[in-house]
Copies of this chain bind each other. A is one copy, B any other.
Amino acid sequence: MEKRPADIIAKDLEERIFDGTFSDGDRLDEVRLAEQFGVSRTPFREALQRLARSGLVELIPRRGAFVRQPGPVELMEMFEVMAEVEAVCGRLAAKRISDDALNDLREANIKCQAAVDQRDHIAYYAENERFHQIIYTQSGNSFLASEARALHRRLQPFRRQQLRLRGRMAQSMTEHRAVVEALESGDSEAAANALRSHVAIQGEKFHSLMATLRKAGE
């Protein structure tokens, strides 16, 4: 895609925020980090502003850039929005999806099932990804699809963890099947509801997972 320094830096910083190298509240020193990346402050600042737009860092005037991890409340809100966005994609896709895309969905689900049988988280994750991307595209609204992808991407690191929960993959599969059924029959409301609860459950699972981790950490 793009290979300008600012893009690379933005992506790299994003990665480091996600993987915990930078934690909440950390100040991102322009001179130090720019030097570390081997560029001057100008493109580095460009990257910072990009991250600020996506909500990963907060840019306080005359103070600097600070890492801004979403707190539990904001995360719950984002999952709720994701659930509703997917519901909307499903509602529209039910009326607009092509037969080819339906086949692709079924195929993705078959591979998902294979991954469940082999307890292969990575493979499951990849096919699950494909499943959702197809639905975004088949909403027939490219603006909606791109918004959905942006939010999906932003929640990725949080969604990833909860797949490891016991039985979650199998449960997720069942939900996927309900989605495909609704889309097959062109039932907008059913598709919307199936997708909403599918994603909402992810949010809830993540929430309880966090609570558990917090407890263990004390």
Interface residues of chain A, those whose CB is within 8 Å of chain B, are 2, 4, 42, 46, 49-50, 53, 61, 74, 77-78, 80-81, 84, 88, 91-92, 141-144, 147
Q: Closest residue to A142 on the B side, CB-wise?
A: B77
Give the distance to chain B from A56, nearest Cβ to Cβ, in Å. Answer: 13
Q: Report how far A204 CA is from B91 CA in the complex, Å.
A: 19
7 pairs, CB–CB < 8 Å, chain A vs chain B: A49-B49, A50-B53, A77-B143, A80-B141, A80-B144, A84-B144, A88-B88
B residues less than 8 Å from A92 (CB atoms): 80
**B2 & A81 in contact (Cβ 8 Å cutoff):** no
B residues less than 8 Å from A78 (CB atoms): 143
Q: Closest residue to A83 on the B side, CB-wise?
A: B88
State whether A141 and B81 are in contact (beta carbons under 8 Å apart), knowing that A4-B61, A42-B42, A61-B2 are contacts in the complex.
yes
Give the distance to chain B from A152, nearest Cβ to Cβ, in Å. Answer: 14
Q: Report how far A84 CA is from B192 CA in the complex, Å.
A: 12
B residues less than 8 Å from A4 (CB atoms): 61
B residues less than 8 Å from A88 (CB atoms): 81, 84, 88
B residues less than 8 Å from A53 (CB atoms): 50, 53
